[in-house]
Structure 1
Amino acid sequence: MSMMFARVLRPITSNKEAASTLGTRGFAAGASKAKKGKKGGAGADAPKASTLTKEVKSTTVVGANILKDGSDPKVFPDSEYPDWLWHLIDKRLPLSELRRKDIETLPYEELKRFVKLDNRSRIKENNMLKAKN
C-alpha cells in the first residue's frame, strides 16, 4: 500500500497539488477481476429457473410475504374480495376533460376530484408566478 502512495506522490511539484492528490481515493488494480472469478463470474447473473409448481403459482401470491416468519398469502375467488377493489384500476378523466364538462352534471365523487385537482393546479400556478427566477 505504501508503494502505491509513493507512485502517486512522485510527480507532485507544489503543495497545492499535494493537497488535492492526498484528498482523492484510488482503487487497487485488479480488485474487480478477482471478485468475478470467485463466485461463478458472469454465470451468477443469469436468471434462475423457477422451482415452484404451477399449482402453487396459481393459488398463492408468490413474493408478497413481508413478515419474517410468515407465508405468502393465498389467492381467493373474485367473489371473496370487496366490490370497490375492482374499480381501482378504472380510468378517470384528467382535469382538462373535467373542466370541459358541466359541473352540475358531474357525480359527487368526480366533482370532489375536480375541486381537488383544480385547487392543486391553481396552487402550482401561483407558486410558479411567485418563484424567484
Structure 2
Amino acid sequence: MAMNHLRSLKGIVNVKEAIGIVGRRTFSAGGSKAKKGSKGGAAGDAAKASTLSKEVKSTTVVGANILKDGADPKVLPDSEYPDWLWHLIDKKPPLSELRRKNVETLPYEDLKRFVKLDNRARIKENNSIKAKN
C-alpha cells in the first residue's frame, strides 16, 4: 500500500524523501515537551534521588526494582554473588595483541575471540574495497 502512495508521489518528491516521511516515528502531543509541574519526567525523578540518605544508597541497589509493587534489592556480600560476575569487567586483549601471539599457544577463549575479531576485520576490509570500486 505504501508503494502505491510512493508511485503517485514520484513526480512530486524524491523517493528517498518520501520513504523518510512514511517511516518517520511520531509522538503524541505532550510526549516530547514536558511542561513545568507536570506529572512524571526527569526533573521529578532527580529530586527524589537526591533525597535518599547515604545509608540507603550503600545498602540497596537504588533503581534496580522492575516491579510495580516491589522494593529495591539489598546489596549482598561479595561471597553471595557468582564468581563469573567479577570477571565481566576484566580487560580483554585487542586484535593487534592477539595477532602478535602464537595462535597455537592461545587459550581457547582467546582463540575464539581472535577468530571472531579477525573475521570482523576481514569483512570490514572487503566491504571498504567493494565500496571504492
Q: Secondary structure at the match of 2:50?
A: coil
Q: CA deviation at 1:132?
A: 5.5
Q: Structure 1 regions of 5+ residues with no counterpart?
A: 1-34, 40-44
Residue 112 of structure 1 corresponds to 112
Relative to the length of structure 1, the TM-score reads: 0.61
Q: Indicate the RMSD between aligned Cα atoms, in angstroms.
A: 2.8
Q: Secondary structure at the match of 1:131?
A: helix
Trace 1:87-98 onto structure 2 (pairs within 5 A). 87-98=87-98
Q: CA deviation at 1:67?
A: 2.2
In 2, the alpha carbon distance for the partners of 1:59 and 1:94 equals 37
Q: Deviations over 1:50-78 (max 9, x none)?
A: 22222211111111222222211211000
User: Is 1:51 the counterpart of 2:45 in the alignment?
Assistant: no
Residue 8 of structure 1 corresponds to none
Residue 32 of structure 1 corresponds to none
Residue 79 of structure 1 corresponds to 79
Residue 125 of structure 2 corresponds to 125
In 1, the alpha carbon distance for the partners of 2:117 and 2:70 equals 40
Trace 1:9-88 onto structure 2 (pairs within 5 A). 48=47, 50-88=50-88
In 2, the alpha carbon distance for the partners of 1:100 and 1:132 equals 29
Q: CA deviation at 1:89?
A: 0.5
Runs of 4+ in structure 1 displaced over 3 angstroms? none
In 2, the alpha carbon distance for the partners of 1:132 and 1:102 equals 34
Q: Structure 2 regions of 5+ residues with no counterpart?
A: 1-34, 38-42
In 2, the alpha carbon distance for the partners of 1:130 and 1:71 equals 54
Q: How many residues align?
A: 95
In 2, the alpha carbon distance for the partners of 1:93 and 1:63 equals 33
In 2, the alpha carbon distance for the partners of 1:129 and 1:106 equals 31
In 2, the alpha carbon distance for the partners of 1:125 and 1:70 equals 50
